[in-house]
Structure 1
Amino acid sequence: MNPILISILAYLGATLLVSRLAARRDSAGQEFSRRHFLGGQFMGGGILALSLVATYTSASSYIGGPGAAYKFGLGWVLLAVIQVPVALLTLGVLGPRLWTLARESGAVTILDILRDRYQNRWLLWLSGASLVAGFLGMIVVQFTSGARLLSVVAQIPYATSLLLFVSTVVIYTLWGGFKAVSYTDAIQGLVMLVGMFALLIGVVGQGGGLANLTGQMSQIDPGLIAPHGPDGFISWPFLFSFWVLVCFGTIGLPHTVIRVMAAKDGRAIARAMVLGTLVTALVTLMPHLAGALGRPLVPELASPDEIIPTLMVELFSPWMAGLMLAAPVAAVMSSVDSMLLQTTSTLVRDLAMQGRSFSQTQMKWLTRVTTLVVALACTLMAMDPPQMIIWLNMAAFGALQVVFLWPLVLGLFWSRARGEAALAAMVVGLVTYLPLTFLKIKLLTLHAIVPALLASLLAFVLVQGVVQRR
């Protein structure tokens, strides 16, 4: 059998083992929905940091991002490290207040927080529908990315690799719920660090050192070592838009915010801010730098997105390459499991359970069936993904930000904030963002996320002023 495939199968098997052990440690005394969807407030600083970073890091960080660095050079590496403060912002801005509110109210999901804070039914339905729609699109992208990666490097049919990847994620998500997902995400974060460190060392060693590699890049195109890339592609408006989309706006991403609610205490949050920032810096810098420096080593590629798996296969033995390829596989898995779990929690706990009473047994079966249905639907779409799937992914990424960012932040820090204002911010944000995105309209050369968040904030403030005057 292919050594690469054996190594990857061993990694997937280890992931299932960890999830099973985590499931056994779960507290049987807790309510099922709280145990399965949040796991209680159990995360120490280390697990919180690794889990948060691993969840945020997806296929784009190991496939698309390094591919862009391969094409545009060191300027794209500088652009990528803009997202380093993600953990610092998410934990520092929302951390203490969100954790306290979750503990006092017993909230399990993001919609629980919004329900307790605003008491607005329409807001809950819009945010729930947005979360499900956004995550479905992003899950399809992650399924597709993971399956393509396994298919190419392990030389197995795409359909087989898709079923292998999906079944692993679904099994350990069903087995242990949020706690299993968090522990496996933490381990996957470590796998990313080790794999990318080994790859970067291998690239630098193979290329004769940094100076030699950058010299060769300059000979190919001087723009590859310029801060703004070839032909000044990375402009200042582009830099600002990218920072808003992949750094500042991530404060409002539900699948990263939910981790804050599961922190053990304030000390864990403080430790995770420091460790999470360090880990984010490493897992962002190393793959992007390897992609850029790989240009002289692999000057011809059918697609820039192939640079990381190509470097792994060409620089290392099949057994070692298989182990290292666990890093991008881990990046995909650590994102998709959280999205799958939150999609299920929204459909079951936040929408289906409203006004209804279910026994613990009924909750378990409803949760399992819903998880399987969501996974099956996304798998069928991933079998033949649409050509514009990457744009749908980015659209979903930004749409979740315009829906959740201001209602979460202002709801936590503005005591008088009302549900009408939060709902207006969601509606105006979506109405601004989606047309600008799909029609590819750039106001002042800025990405759609910038005017959409500004319009959303303005709508929140204006409607809040009107409501307060009543």
Structure 2
Amino acid sequence: MNGDISQLLPLLGYMAFMIGISFYVRHQQQSGLMNNFVKTYFIGNRDLGGFVLAMTTVATYSSVSSFVGGPGVAWNVGFGWVYMAVVQVTAVFLVLGIFGKRVALLASKFNAVTVVDIIRHRYKSDLLAEISAFIIVLFFCATMVAQFVGGAKLFEAVTGYSYVTGLILFGAMVVVYTTIGGFRAVAITDTCCAIMMMIGIMMLVYFVLQAGGGYDSIVAHLETNRPDMLEPLSGGKMPYGLYLTQWILVGICTIALPQSVVRGLAFRNNKSLVRAMLIGTFVVGFMNIGVNLTGILGQGVMTGAPADYGGTDSIIPRIVVTAMPATLASIAIIGPLSASISTISSLLLVGSSAIIKDIYLHRQERKG
């Protein structure tokens, strides 16, 4: 399929807007960068308000798998996948509630700028800190590759431009705005990403319902052809063991991810923290339930077997192309691509802080 420039323009405009934000933030923080570069660049001088803190935490937590892989499985499995995935609604509340205040207190006590800083001072071990930094960089590289691949495939499926073009665009844009603006630019662009995610979900739900003949028609189709999709255990595809392990892995273990925990170093005050917990819980719930429900509703549009569409990871891109007008599809795709972009930028920032601040600058300080 050949690309149409009209389908690419909304995405290019959005990318230009993101880069513009980074230049604006850089200009606004110029004095702070001159006086305390590390603190200003890596944690935004601890000045995030509640709304931005909530949205950057949500955007960082959400990834391309949240908008492509998960809904694709929901399309094949049914409501059982939604019941399992709903545990993610607690993620932001737990991240900020369990780690937010505690991490902030430790950061203040140790004058820490990164999570590795806290580990170094808390356990008084440079070796443990450097091992932690190495692990962060190692696994973040693998995670970023997955985000780039997923985003580029989605880009190719919807716009018609090549996979390589998507990789180049994402790579250049994310590296540029993260490098220029630092943590505060990432937080503000994450906020834009989270808003675009919600807009994309609402657009997709509307057109999927329209293409499928409405909610009642889609449910009637499921009752007749796929009644297992209406059951919590999905005809054996969602056993109790999977519920338990996924709730532990996705609902509990992910709250300790460094890219999320670092948000606890950056909020302005307790009021901002509490506000972020409330807003973030609502937003992540809306996105998580909405996007997985959209996958199920997609059965009204894509009625074949997974193999007919190239596997479950191809379902959402196919639904977008099938159910939506081409021009609107190019706008709606910004939502799931934003999930990829926001995750990559946060991983880049935490990974770079591990190399520059936690290893290189610390060693220079010791030599000095």
Per the TM superposition, whether the score is higher than 0.5 is yes
Whole-angstrom distance in 2 between the partners of 1:44 and 1:321: 33
SS of 2:280's partner is helix
User: What one-letter code is carried by the residue in structure 1 that aligns with 2:253?
Assistant: G
SS of 1:298's partner is coil
Matching residue of 2:326? 318
Structure 2 residue corresponding to 1:8, chosen from 3, 11, 16: 11
Q: How do residues 142-161 of structure 1 correspond to structure 2 at under 5 angstroms?
A: 142-161=147-166
Structure 1 residue corresponding to 2:355, chosen from 325, 347, 354: 347
**Higher mean C-alpha deviation, range 127-136 or range 214-223:** 214-223
Q: Is the 8 A contact 1:199 1:290 kept in 2?
A: yes
Whole-angstrom distance in 2 between the partners of 1:316 and 1:3: 15
Whole-angstrom distance in 1 between the partners of 2:84 and 2:136: 28
Q: After TM superposition, what 4+ stretches of structure 1 lie above 3 angstroms from structure 2?
A: none
User: What one-letter code is carried by the residue in structure 2 that aligns with 1:167?
Assistant: A
Q: Which has the higher helix share?
A: 2
User: What one-letter code is carried by the residue in structure 1 that aligns with 2:15?
Assistant: L
2:182 is aligned with 1:193? no
User: Can you list the C-alpha shifts for 1:175-233, whole angstroms capped at 9, x where unaligned?
Assistant: 1011111100011001101110121122223323322211212222211111111x312
Whole-angstrom distance in 2 between the partners of 1:353 and 1:58: 31
Q: How do residues 19-38 of structure 1 correspond to structure 2 at under 5 angstroms?
A: 19-29=22-32, 30-38=35-43
Q: Is the 8 A contact 2:212 2:218 kept in 1?
A: yes
Unaligned segments of structure 1, at least 5 residues: 359-470
Matching residue of 1:238? 242
Q: Is the 8 A contact 2:213 2:300 kept in 1?
A: no
Q: How do residues 387-466 of structure 1 correspond to structure 2 at under 5 angstroms?
A: none
Question: 1:263 deviation in Å?
Answer: 0.5
2:257 is aligned with 1:249? no
Question: 1:97 deviation in Å?
Answer: 1.8
SS of 2:46's partner is coil
Matching residue of 1:307? 315
Matching residue of 2:283? 279
Q: How do residues 41-120 of structure 1 correspond to structure 2 at under 5 angstroms?
A: 41-120=46-125
Structure 1 residue corresponding to 2:345, chosen from 327, 331, 337: 337
Query: How many residues in Structure 1 have an aligned counterpart in Structure 2?
Result: 357
- Using CA pairs under 8 Å that are at least 6 residues apart, name the structure with larger relative contact order, 1 or 2: 2
Structure 1 residue corresponding to 2:269, chosen from 260, 265, 270: 265
Q: Is the 8 A contact 1:11 1:323 kept in 2?
A: no
User: What one-letter code is carried by the residue in structure 2 that aligns with 1:61?
Assistant: S
User: What one-letter code is carried by the residue in structure 1 that aligns with 2:21?
Assistant: V
**Higher mean C-alpha deviation, range 300-309 or range 183-192:** 300-309
User: Can you list the C-alpha shifts for 1:43-91, whole angstroms capped at 9, x where unaligned?
Assistant: 1110010000000000110010011001111111111111110011111
Unaligned segments of structure 2, at least 5 residues: none
Question: 1:352 deviation in Å?
Answer: 1.6
User: Can you list the C-alpha shifts for 1:219-278, whole angstroms capped at 9, x where unaligned?
Assistant: 22211111111x312111211110111111122100000011100111111011111000
Matching residue of 2:183? 178
SS of 1:84's partner is helix
Q: Is the 8 A contact 2:158 2:329 kept in 1?
A: no
Q: Is the 8 A contact 2:207 2:323 kept in 1?
A: yes
Q: Is the 8 A contact 1:54 1:334 kept in 2?
A: yes
User: What one-letter code is carried by the residue in structure 2 that aligns with 1:96?
Assistant: K
User: What one-letter code is carried by the residue in structure 2 that aligns with 1:11?
Assistant: Y
TM-score normalised according to structure 1 size:
0.74
Q: Is the 8 A contact 2:43 2:184 kept in 1?
A: yes
Question: 1:14 deviation in Å?
Answer: 1.4
SS of 2:113's partner is coil
Taking only the aligned residue pairs, the percentage that are identical comes to 33
TM-score normalised according to structure 2 size:
0.93
Whole-angstrom distance in 1 between the partners of 2:59 and 2:357: 25
